[in-house]
Structure 1
Amino acid sequence: MARMPRHPAPTPSPFTPLDFQLVLLRRMADHQPLLVDDARRELGVSQGEMREANRRWQAMVRSPRGRGAVARYRSVLGAPEAKIRRQVGDLACEALLWPVPLWPGLRFEVLLAPGGAAVINEWLIRAPGAAGPELRTVEDLAPWSATVDEVGRAFPPAELLEGSAPTRWRLAFEAPDADGVLKAYVGDFTWGLLQEVVPAA
C-alpha cells in the first residue's frame, strides 16, 4: 500500500512586538480586566489571540532549547531603543529600553547584571525625559498611572514586597488621603505598572 506523502509542519508565525504587548496585558487582566479589554480592542485583537500570544511566550520562556532572556527580547522587539548605564547598589549595570506603543510615555526595561550575563529585572519604567504623574495623595494613584519607582519616590519610605506571581510586585507605603490623613497602603504592580492600591491590612 502506497504511503501518503508527509507534509512539513507549518512554520509558526513570528512573535511580534504586538504579541508582546498582549503578553503584558494578559498578566494585567486579573487586576484590571476592563482596562485590558479596552486596550485589546484598541489593538484590534480578540481574547483568544491574547491568550494564544501568552501561551506562545510561556513556551518560549520555558523551552530548554530557548534563547536567553536578552536574545529573546531582541528577537521579538528588535534592537533596543536605548542602552543606559545604571548603578544598582554597588553594581554597575546596563539597562536596555524598548518602546511600548500602548503606553507611549513608558519603556520596557531589561536590567542586566555586570557583564550582561544575567537579567536582574524586566519591567516597565517611565521613558527618559518623559514627565511622570504628580503624586501627592492616594487619590492620584489611578491604575496604570505610575510605575513602582515613581510611587516609591513619591511616598518614602516604601518597601518592595514579593508579588503573588512572576512579573508581579507589591509596594508597602504611607500616603495622605484627600483630607491629608496619612494612612498605610499596599500597591499591586504587574510588569512594574500600578494596577491597584488597597489599604494595608
Structure 2
Amino acid sequence: MGAMPSSKPPAGPFTVQDFQLVLLRRMADHNPDLVDDARRRLGVSLADMREANKRWQAMLRSPRSRSAATRYRSVLGTPESVTARRIGDLDCAAWQWPVPLWPDLRFEVLVGPNQAVWNEWLVRAPDAPAAEPRTVDDLRPWSCTVDEAARAFAPARPLEGTAPTRWGLAFTAPDARGVRREVVAEFTWGLLQRTAVGE
C-alpha cells in the first residue's frame, strides 16, 4: 500500500518577497515592532515569515546546496549593478539588488574569485542620499548602515557579531549636549538595530 499523499501543497519558488522575510526574521530579535509593521506592509503573517526563514535555512544546509553566489542570483535575479572593487590586494565584484521594503537601500554581495561570497549586507543605494548621523540621538534603528556609521564616527572599531549576518561597531559620538559618549552599535544584515551608550 503506497504512502498517503501529502495534503500540503508543494512550496513555490523562493521569491524576493521571501528573501525580505528572511532579512526581517533576523531583525525581529532586536526590533519586533518595526518588523511587525514591515511585515504588515508586505501583507504577510508571522507564520509566513517563519516559513520563509525555514526554507532559506534548508537551502543553506542542503547537501545539494548551490554556491552562495548562485543562490542569490536564483532568488534575486540578475543584479541591478555589478561593480569591480578592490579590497586590499584582492579583486572582487559588488553585486547589488533593489530591496522593495527599503527603496533607499540595496542588498550587496561581494563576490571573489571562483564565485566565493565574501560579504552580504544592506548598503545605501548609489542614487539615494546617505545617512549622516551626527549625535547619539541620530542612531535610531534602521536609520543607517555599517559603512555610514563608521564614516560618521571615525575611527570606529569593528566588533565580532553575536550571530551570522550581525556586525558591531565601537566608537565615540556626542550626545545632545555635546558630551562624547562611548557607543556600541549592533547591525543585522548591515542595517543598524540598536545601540548601547556608556555614561
* Superposed pair shares fold, TM > 0.5: yes
Instruction: Kindly provide the CA deviation profile for residues 46-66 of structure 1, in whole angstroms up to 9, marking residues without a partner as x.
Output: 000000000000000111111
**Cα distance, 1:148–1:4 mapped onto 2, change above 3 Å:** closer
**Cα distance, 1:47–1:6 mapped onto 2, change above 3 Å:** closer
Specify the SS of the correspondent of 1:150: helix
**1:50: which partner in 2?**
49
Whole-angstrom distance in 2 between the partners of 1:96 and 1:56 = 23
Moved over 6 A (4+): none
- Say whether the 8 Å CA contact 1:125–1:147 is kept in structure 2: yes
Given the two structures, how large is their TM-score scaled by the length of structure 2?
0.94
Q: Supply the AA of the counterpart residue of 2:39.
A: R
The correspondence for 1:139, drawn from 137, 146, 152, is 137
Specify the SS of the correspondent of 1:20: helix
**2:61: which partner in 1?**
62
**1:167: which partner in 2?**
165
Specify the SS of the correspondent of 1:145: coil
Q: How does 1:29-40 map to 2 (within 5 A)?
A: 29-40=28-39
Whole-angstrom distance in 2 between the partners of 1:103 and 1:139 = 22
Specify the SS of the correspondent of 1:24: helix
**Cα distance, 1:5–1:167 mapped onto 2, change above 3 Å:** closer
1:6, CA displacement in angstroms?
7.2
Specify the SS of the correspondent of 1:50: helix
Instruction: Kindly provide the CA deviation profile for residues 14-46 of structure 1, in whole angstroms up to 9, marking residues without a partner as x.
Output: 100000000000000000000000000000000
**Cα distance, 1:5–1:120 mapped onto 2, change above 3 Å:** closer
Whether 1:194 aligns to 2:189 is no
Aligned residues: 198
Specify the SS of the correspondent of 2:163: coil
Specify the SS of the correspondent of 1:23: helix
- Say whether the 8 Å CA contact 2:153–2:173 is kept in structure 1: yes
Instruction: Kindly provide the CA deviation profile for residues 134-161 of structure 1, in whole angstroms up to 9, marking residues without a partner as x.
Output: 2111111111010000000000100111
- Say whether the 8 Å CA contact 2:132–2:148 is kept in structure 1: no
**1:149: which partner in 2?**
147
**Cα distance, 1:89–1:200 mapped onto 2, change above 3 Å:** farther
Whole-angstrom distance in 1 between the partners of 2:164 and 2:179 = 33
- Say whether the 8 Å CA contact 2:121–2:189 is kept in structure 1: yes
Whether 1:94 aligns to 2:93 is yes
* Consecutive unaligned residues in structure 2, runs of 5 or more: none
Specify the SS of the correspondent of 2:83: strand
- Say whether the 8 Å CA contact 1:94–1:116 is kept in structure 2: no
* Consecutive unaligned residues in structure 1, runs of 5 or more: none
Q: Supply the AA of the counterpart residue of 1:91.
A: L
